[in-house]
């Protein structure tokens, strides 16, 4: 039931990516920018990772820099990694690639489930992500360039959309997105969002007790509560939703809630933390 809303949100953001440069062609500057940094009616919003890197690379901390990062961090504190699950344009492309992978596996290879050599343990996935973020930020500070921007999937996707609208071409960086999607289609589905993406990693750091998260009503979290456990294959992040709903990897996409045949999963957090 959440699926429809999530798709609507993802598609709206994806369309926004093209709409902003189109509006700007008609000299309407209410919204400007890409998903590295966007300005909506005077409210500056920037990907906090690029702000973090700019701080290290230029060695300065200024008000415009900090204020641009506040909104995404607040959003993450309230709603968790909703940017990833509900908005990120790359995530939508990755959804498409993984759906194509599933379809190819069932139709062509005649296998029910494509075997994924992905690391199933969320701990190692998180370590990869945070390690990558740390190394990238350190590198940005060392060489004075925000290097992780060259590898920002949502930023590159929206920049390419803007370049396409403005100049009817793509730039070289689209190759990076293509390579990522090919790898997700063939080898490890969702590997970018699970193991590398610095934006996703940084956003998941802001998780507190009142952040929106998935809770499970299962009695014994050590084993799946039902035999089929469809939530396991539903989770794009490779989590076990019946016990790891609050994991840093979780994008609050609610696929598991939709998948559970017994309605044992639901959202919790600041919504229900108030005294009833």
Partner 1 sequence: MADGLREFLERVFVRGQNPFVNNYAINRLRPPGAVDERRFMGLCIRCNRCLEVCPYGSIKRAGVGPPMGTPYVFPEQKACYLCMACCRLCPTGALDAHLRNPEKAVMGKAKIDPSICYSHLFLDRDKVPQGAKQKIGALCNTCYNVCPLQDKAITLKGNLFPVVLDGCVGCGICTERCPTRPRRAINVIPSGMGRVDEAGFYFGKARRHHDSAVSRAEKPSSGALKGEELLDRKYKIDGSRDASDFQFPYETSDQIEGWD
Which residues are near partner 1 by CB under 8 A?
20-21, 24, 27, 29, 32-34, 36-39, 44, 46-47, 50-51, 53-54, 57-60, 62, 64-65, 68, 143-146, 149-150, 155, 159, 162-163, 166-167, 171-173
- Residue 44 interacts with, from ligand SF4, partner 1, none (CB under 5-8 Å by kind): partner 1
User: Which string of b and e fits 225-247 if b means at least 16 CB within 10 Å?
Assistant: beeebbbbbbbbbbbbbbbbbbb
Helix axis angle, 122-143 relative to 48-58, nearest 10°? 40
**Residue 80 CB-density burial (10 A; 0-12 exposed, 13-18 middle, 19+ buried):** buried
- The single-letter DSSP state of residue 86 is I
Residues 237 to 266 in contact with ligand SF4, rule: CB under 6 A: 237, 239, 241, 245, 250-256
CA neighbor of 205 nearest in space, from 114, 130, 106: 130
- Residue 69 interacts with, from partner 1, ligand SF4, none (CB under 5-8 Å by kind): none
Residues 68 to 127 in contact with ligand SF4, rule: CB under 6 A: 83-85, 88, 90-91
User: Which two tokens mark 219?
Assistant: 């009695």
Q: Please say whether the beta carbons of 268 and 215 come within 8 A.
A: yes
Q: What is the smallest separation between the CB atom of 197 and ligand SF4, expressed in angstroms? A: 3
- Residue 206 interacts with, from partner 1, ligand SF4, none (CB under 5-8 Å by kind): none
The residue range among 59-67, 101-109, 133-141, 234-242 that interacts with ligand SF4, by the rule CB under 6 A, is: 234-242
The residue behind tokens 């596996």 is 105
User: Which two tokens mark 113?
Assistant: 């489930």
Assess 200 for contact with ligand SF4 (CB under 6 A). yes
Assess 57 for contact with ligand SF4 (CB under 6 A). no
Q: What is the smallest separation between the CB atom of 207 and partner 1, expressed in angstroms? A: 25
């Amino acid at each position: 039931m959440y699926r429809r809303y999530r798709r609507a949100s993802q598609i709206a953001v994806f369309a926004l990516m093209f709409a902003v440069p189109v509006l700007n062609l008609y000299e309407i500057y209410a919204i400007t920018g890409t998903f590295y940094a966007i300005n909506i009616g005077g409210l500056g919003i920037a990907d906090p990772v690029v702000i973090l890197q700019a701080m290290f690379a230029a060695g300065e901390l200024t008000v415009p820099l900090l204020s641009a990062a506040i909104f995404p961090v607040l959003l993450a504190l309230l709603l968790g990694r909703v940017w990833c699950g509900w908005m990120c344009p790359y995530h939508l492309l990755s959804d498409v690639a993984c759906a194509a992978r599933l379809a190819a596996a069932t139709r062509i290879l005649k296998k029910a489930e494509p075997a994924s050599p992905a690391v199933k343990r969320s701990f190692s996935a998180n370590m990869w992500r945070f390690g990558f973020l740390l190394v990238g930020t350190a590198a940005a500070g060392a060489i004075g360039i925000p290097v992780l921007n060259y590898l920002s999937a949502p930023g590159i996707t929206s920049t390419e959309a803007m370049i396409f609208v403005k100049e009817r071409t793509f730039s070289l960086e689209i190759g990076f997105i293509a390579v990522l999607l090919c790898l997700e289609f063939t080898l490890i589905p969702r590997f970018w969002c699970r193991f590398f993406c610095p934006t996703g990693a940084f956003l998941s750091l802001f998780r507190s007790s009142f952040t929106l998260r998935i809770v499970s009503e299962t009695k014994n979290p050590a084993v799946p509560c039902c035999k089929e456990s469809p939530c396991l294959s539903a989770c794009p992040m490779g989590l076990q939703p019946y016990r790891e709903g609050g994991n840093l990897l979780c994008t609050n996409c609610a696929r598991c809630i939709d998948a559970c045949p017994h309605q044992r999963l639901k959202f919790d957090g600041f919504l229900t933390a108030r005294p009833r």
